[in-house]
Structure 1
């Protein structure tokens, strides 16, 4: 069953750190089997929607998504991000 890595950026405090993270994170995620489905600012928000950057990545399973997060390559990306953003990251099983 597929799983989805859903990341939202509640606050970006340092765009340079975010850029350093993105440069490392993209290849780390793809290298671990992730497929980017959507990323960027919302085209439209409703209800309690927020105008914040969101990223949606598909993996073959919850286990694959968790393993991608825990790889040394992705951990290096997180270290580069440091306090550059406040994010919410969730791994959700597909239906």
Structure 2
């Protein structure tokens, strides 16, 4: 199952904790097909039917079914650059393969 770093947890809580966001909001990661390596990350109010929900210290990540399979052995990390832009990065869980970047949000 996808796990989150402390940085990812803090960033997700920050971008979904806006006053106008409903309780339970999170980020959703989706993938068009197993053959596509492109992942999309969006903020959303709630999971869609069939989404896997990963929660860590108040941060919520909703994984579309194909993305959940792809990310099963990954760790989600995040960083904020000097301009305030957020970048998510996927790294293998210990004992897995190499890094794969995720497009900035």
TM-score, reference length from structure 1: 0.29
Report the TM-score, using the length of structure 2 for normalisation.
0.28
